[in-house]
Amino acid sequence: MLNDELLQVIQTYLEEKSLKKIKDILSKWPVADVAELLQNIDEKNMIIIFRLLPKDKAIDVFAELDKESQEKLLKMMSDQRIKEIISELPPDDRTELFEDLPGQLQQRLLNMLSSDDRREVLKLLGYPKNSVGRLMTPDYVAVRSHWTVKEAIEHIRQRGRDAETIDIIYVVNDDWRLLDDVPIRRFILADAEQKVEMLMDYHVISISAYADQEEAVKIMQQYDLTVLPVVDEDGILIGIVTIDDILDVLEEEVTEDFQKGSAIIPFEESYIKASPFFLYRKRAGWLLLLLVADFLSSNVIAHFEDALRMVIALAFFIPVLIDSGGNTASQSATLVIRAIATGELNIRRWFDVVKKELITGLLLGITLGVALFLRSFFWKGGPEIGLVVGISMVAIVVWANLLGSLLPIILTKLKLDPAVISAPLLTTLCDATGLIIYFHIAKLLLKI
């Protein structure tokens, strides 16, 4: 693994122009470690190191790099070197590269591709952004059901060299309609003269090219797949999605959900490479919105100013009550959002969620309410204030628990991402509504 010591060794060899030593070191390194080195070194030395890599390894390393590093290398490489690299990239990696490039550079690279490769890239780019069509690769192996196993294995030997994977072999009819997926081990263990159709069970899981990438993640997780066939509206096999692409999507989705959950506009750029101004733009909008929402809490306190003046002890418990409400809402929202994301929960079961969270919120509220009552009884306010804050705690926690669990379901129903129900937003909502509940209970019980 790359560390500061190894990086210093490489830097020393670069200063000494000991390129052969660097080449020997890099030849023993895994592709991922070479990619990490290139991403942590200055541009001048990046291109020097990349040129020292043999062609096959350079292609694999380039595919591992982040988008910013790929773009830097493309601007520094000769047209011939670029052509060698991008023409050998797997189709899905090549499409992902073209998708994020500036238009001028994208056009330059398209002109370097062969007519077949250019047609393939443009076809994949024609699918909607974040669709399975952008993720798939057309490099797979398919056989016919009427072939013998011997004929199928010979076909696999011929076509398998350029395939993304041959763990699964697809069976199609003469119109390329997907019939089945058969593990390679069945071909290896079967009799040579046996028909391919004898190996089939006609149970195949597939996905539309226009489906969202998140749907592919859910299907592969649910059925423990390492590769997923992609079909068009007529069931014609047009590509496959492999587990390495799905893991990349999963990482992106989790990162995006974390960012949304913290009230940050999602971004793909590396945090280390992001400028302060870039981070400011991603965070300032939400913070301003939350600031305006916080004015509601101030207005509520101002509205009940007379009650506070009459019973000053009520003010001591405001932070405890509203923080407890915010924390409770964040907990329930996290659980529900995660259940929706994994497919465990759907909006048709909303009433089950209400029943579950109502009971859970009541139990949590009573527990916290009793604790707060005892605290108030022995610290500030005595039994009357203790009763007010205890009952308020129960009501606020029950309300916050329902709010945190139902808002993600409502957003899902409206076809919006439930992850936008961030912890700061929930806390702000619970602050304002919790204060209203608290002061109304206080006015009712204390008759003020």
pLDDT per residue as tens digits for the range 358-380: 999 999 999 999 998 888 877 76
142-249: which CATH topology?
A: CBS-domain (3.10.580)
What confidence score (pLDDT) does residue 419 get? 67
- Model pLDDT, residue 293: 63
Q: 365 with 391: CB under 8 angstroms? A: no
pLDDT of residue 370: 92
pTM given for the model = 0.56
Q: Where are the domains of the chain?
A: 4-129, 142-249, 276-446
Query: Across the beta sheet with 227-231, what order do the strands follow?
Result: 207-208, 227-231, 237-242
What is the DSSP secondary structure assignment for residue 199, as one 8-state letter? Answer: G
pLDDT along the chain (448 residues), means of 10: 69 84 85 86 85 87 86 84 83 79 71 76 79 86 94 92 89 92 94 94 92 89 91 89 85 68 59 66 68 70 70 80 87 84 77 89 92 80 82 93 88 76 74 88 83
For the domain spanning 4-129, the CATH number is 1.25.60.10
For residue 152, the model assigns a pLDDT of 95
Backbone angles phi, psi at 271, to 5 degrees: -60, -40
Q: Please provide the DSSP assignment of 273-327 as one string.
A: T--HHHHHHHHHHHHHHHHHHHHHHHHHHHHTHHHHHH-THHHHTHHHHHHHHHH
Q: Which residues pair with 227 in a beta bridge?
A: 242
Residue 380 belongs to what H/E stretch?
A: none
Dihedral over alpha carbons 389, 391, 393, 399 (to 10 degrees): -140
Q: What is the pLDDT of residue 154?
A: 94
- Give the pLDDT confidence score for residue 366 in this predicted structure: 93
How many angstroms separate the CA atoms of 435 and 429, rounded?
10
Is-contact 222 343, C-beta < 8 A? Answer: yes
Topology of domain 276-446 in CATH is Tetracycline Repressor; domain 2 (1.10.357)
Instruction: Please state, in angstroms and rounded to a whole number, the distance separating the CA atoms of residues 117 and 87.
Output: 7
What is the pLDDT at residue 130? 83
